[in-house]
Structure 1
Amino acid sequence: MIDTPLDEIPKINASLHATFATRKTFPLAWRQHQLLQISRMLQDNHKALADSLYQDLGKPAFEVYTTELNVMIDRAILSAKRLPEWAAEKNLEGHPDIPPPQKKWKPRVTPTPKGAVLIISPWNYPLILSMQGTIGAIAAGCTVCLKLSEITPNFAGVMQRLLPQYLDQDALKVVCGGVPEVTKVLEQKWDHIFYTGHGSVARIIAAAAAKHLTPLTLELGGKSPVIVDPECDLELAAKRVLFGKLSNCGQLCVSPDYVLIPPSALAAFTEGLKKAYASCYPDGSLKSDSYARIINMQHFKRIKGLLDRTQGKVLMGGGIDEEERRIEPTVVLVKPGDVLLESETFGPILAIMEVEDTSAACQWISARDHPLVIYLFSKNEQIQKDVRKLTMSGNLVFNDTFMQLDVKVLPFGGVGESGYGRQVLQHTFECFSYDRTSVDIPAEAEQMVHLRYPPYTEHSFRSRMCSGFECAYSR
């Protein structure tokens, strides 16, 4: 990865605005070609990309292909295919709320690109979280500045090399570097900013955007809880919760963060976790090729510090390999006020807290910031309805974890502290476009609208507004 010179960043901003002004990005054929080029880039260079993610994150190739590469190849192709439908002008002449005379005014809504946009991608899923926004922005007809994370330098270096080879360099620019570079980028005026990451950084980005009244999409995270109904299949629930926690070593915004469970179900659920762990890692996880590592030493020490400070009881795991930056999936039974319940762990720690029942779990969740996702394990439809009614979250998933991301037609995003705006396919397209309305009012409409002109009289008001009923103007 080569850091972008600071004095180049204003030039990048200016060039992207200039390209957009030419309307080069407007033709659907141009957009579709760029989208298919993204797919081609990922297919041609899949091994180099997978290798870079292993170097940066220790991410197993299986995870790279199933959760990032194959997903983005599919969505780039599908976006190109669906684009004419998404971008189509909508004719509202047939809308039931439009009076017959106004149907001749040709009311239209046209999805229109916002302009030159900024996408700031994170390090935890750097491929999908850089390309998903880019695909949506290109589909919408925008020019793109893509800021890649400096925390994954090998991946950023590969993308820095590949993107100019496959995509129109007038319409897409890459920025690499750390705090100075992103600070300089945020000083520029953009037409939309799409950020994925932590809430504390999001506040900085939102403040910078406010100076230019720039709209935002914020994909954040938070403490995504798991509610366990004691009547569910506890062994299966434990296996699926552990799967969500194992993915990318827990470094995932939708990773299950903590479990709320009645005391009667705790023993069986814990045994289910242990059984699932033994099945996934018969020789342990610290040396397994099927387990990623913590991204860097700073984050390793942060997660280890949580384990050092918790007052909870370790029920499973706890092993540490500092040289390899690996921490075993660790399950800790905690009480209210524990450090593991304070902020998002973003690592392989699963806290468990006992609650009386699912109603008490809902009260606990509702008293805190709205999470990105709530996971409920229950087949009881009334309990499902109660959780839906009594809580708020970006997503709600019944009887599994993580797999909601596989349903590509669903809008994905948070609420409140977990972010705002929605993405995936058409929803990402809609992030980077706006509904531009138009009407074409013919000369013959004058016979209907002539009463709008002064002088204003009771007769003209009655004729235009009252339609036979007594109106306030005459009182």
Structure 2
Amino acid sequence: MESMTAASRPLLDIPGTVAALRASFDAGTTLGIDGRLEALAALRRGIVAERSALERALAEDLGKSTQEATVTEIGVVLAEIDHMRRHLRSWLRPGRFGLGAVLAPGSGHVLREPLGTVLVIAPWNYPVNLALSPLVGAIAGGNTALLAPSELAPATSAALARLAARHLDPAWIRVVEGGVEEKTALLAERFDLIFYTGGGRVGRLVAHAAAEHLTPTVLELGGKSPVFVDEGVDLARAARRIVWGKFTNAGQTCTAPDHLMATPATLAALLPHLRAAIEEMYGPDPRTCEEYGRIVGEAQLDRLAGLLDGATAAIGGVDGIDRAARHIPPTVLVDVSFDDPVMDEEIFGPILPLLAVSGPLEAVDRIRAGAKPLTAYVFSDDPRTRRLFATRTSSGSLALGLTLAHVGAVSMPFGGVGESGHGAYHGRASLEAFTHAKPVVSKPLVPDTLRLVYPPVSALRRRLVRRLLGG
């Protein structure tokens, strides 16, 4: 698939683009619920019409199979749109609340109002899903939106730009392609929300730029999402779920299991099941398997290869790297220490270190000693162990008995905590992220019960106010 390079792409008037979207919002283009539902329907029609082009682009950029593109990219967005369109009217219905005795007979309700013009900066690892899923919330919330796809997935970026140009209203949504220069120019503009998905280093730059305009942000970052496998679980079934969650998209997933902890006996028993699951899913030579993805680029491949230097691989390893094919095999490392280089940063690739712990208490201590992960995974049949991880660890989400699949649940708020990000989206949480819950209060002028608190205040009124306020 052909895509324009940064040098050949025409320069875009970014301030003018942002101003046009803001003028469109100020004109009320996006306020009506019927209009929002139609814009969501147009996005859905566009995805369906451009599906083949999106699949080809994902294959070119990341080696994604049609099945993986459906399960982790296109199908997730279509489900998100359908869920939002089904519930939008009820979610936008004003919620009533009381004002208390002193303000009686007053009333109040919460009105969800659009924020304005928003910026969505998407990453390269799920370049369709993580561009369009937030866009669903932006449209549903009644905002105009500027979408900035990742330049590291150039074929998909171009496909998204074509989708928007052919199927979406430019008064509502526009796409700006480009790299650091274009993103820097975008961040110099004032938006009413910036939604960023990516790594923590760039996330800090986004937050700093947003602070210049006091712009709120939703930051979907990452971290070292741990897995704990308890004694006594069905290791064959657990291994299949761990292998699928870890090696989907060649491990380039912010919620992929980063490393696995278990007792030495459990690790020894689990290893052959991991090997069997890898061969079952990807064959004896994953390089020839169309269901196994590719590393996005040379820099990412070099970084991952560096993590394998000096490491002991029980499965895969450095000898299986094919640079021309951007291939690193599913790799399982053994004899790993918590002080090893592979534990210094989020791996974000097809490398799974196995680390020995004495049991669930040490695993919890190890998690608590590091930055809060985006997700933590636990395989245990013991309710006490499950409760221990639920109450004693903090993470964006906790998944018991599965990996990765929970992120596709459109009804589940998904987001990070601490260094793994802040803010949540999907389903109703997306609508809440892209709107402001504005309280609207009303009190008739007669009777004027507020006279109770107008000065001068008599001793009788003081006692009455204290009683009304519970004091």
Same fold (TM over 0.5): yes
Q: Residues 45-444 of structure 1: matches in 2 within 5 Å?
A: 45-93=50-98, 98-99=99-100, 102=103, 104-308=105-309, 311-318=310-317, 319-333=320-334, 334-444=336-446
Report the CA distance between 1:270 and its aligned residue: 0.4
Report Cα offsets for 1:108-140 as digits up to 9, x if no partner.
110111110000000100111011110000000
CA RMSD of aligned residues (A): 1.7
Deviations 1:320-377 (A, max 9, x none): 1111010101111101210111101110000111111111111011000010111111
- Select the residue among 11, 19, 27 that pairs with 2:24: 19
- 2:102 and 2:343 map into 1 onto residues whose CA distance is 61
Measure the CA separation in 1 of the matches of 2:169 and 2:447.
46
Question: Distance between the aligned counterparts of 1:325 and 1:166, measured in 2?
Answer: 33
Deviations 1:172-209 (A, max 9, x none): 11111000100000000000010000000000000000
Structure 1: which 4+ aligned runs deviate by more than 4 Å?
Answer: 1-7, 100-103, 466-469
CA distance in 2, matches of 1:371, 1:337: 18
Question: 1: CA distance between counterparts of 2:242 and 2:326?
Answer: 23
- What is the CA-CA distance between 1:218 and the residue it aligns to? 0.5
Match of 1:43 in 2: 48
CA apart distance, 1:280: 1.7
Distance 1:48 1:452, change over 3 A: same
Is the alpha carbon distance of 1:7 and 1:36 closer, same or farther for their aligned partners in structure 2, counting shifts above 3 Å? closer
For residues 246-272 of structure 1, give each alpha carbon's deviation from its aligned partner in whole angstroms, at most 9, with x where no partner exists. Answer: 100000011111011101112210000
Instruction: Determine helix, strand or coil for the equivalent of 2:260.
Output: strand
Please give the alpha-carbon distance, in whole angstroms, between the structure 2 residues aligned to 1:349 and 1:41: 36
* SS of residue paired to 1:194: strand
**Amino acid paired to 2:386:** Q
Query: What amino acid is the match of 2:241?
Result: R
Structure 1 residues 7-16 or 109-118, which shifts more? Answer: 7-16
Deviations 1:407-449 (A, max 9, x none): 2211111110100101101111110101111112112131x11
Instruction: Write out per-residue CA displacement over residues 51-109 of structure 1, whole angstroms, 9 at most, x where no aligned residue.
Output: 1110111111110011111221122122122110111111225xxxx436746423111
CA contact (8 A) 1:38 1:73 kept: no
Name the CA shift for 1:466/1:208 in 2 (closer, same or farther; >3 Å).
same
Per-residue CA shift, 1:386-412, capped at 9, x if unaligned?
Answer: 111221111111111111123221111
CA distance in 2, matches of 1:45, 1:369: 40
CA distance in 2, matches of 1:84, 1:43: 24
Normalised TM-score (structure 2): 0.95
Code of the residue aligned with 1:34 in structure 2: it is A
Show structure 2 runs of 5+ residues with no match. Answer: none
Query: Structure 2: how far apart are the matches of 1:314 and 1:398?
Result: 27
CA distance in 2, matches of 1:315, 1:187: 48
CA contact (8 A) 1:372 1:415 kept: yes
Relative to structure 1, the CA distance from residue 424 to residue 467 in structure 2 (aligned partners, 3 Å threshold; closer, same or farther) is: closer
Percent of residue pairs bearing the same amino acid type: 36
- Which structure 1 segments of 5+ residues have no match? none
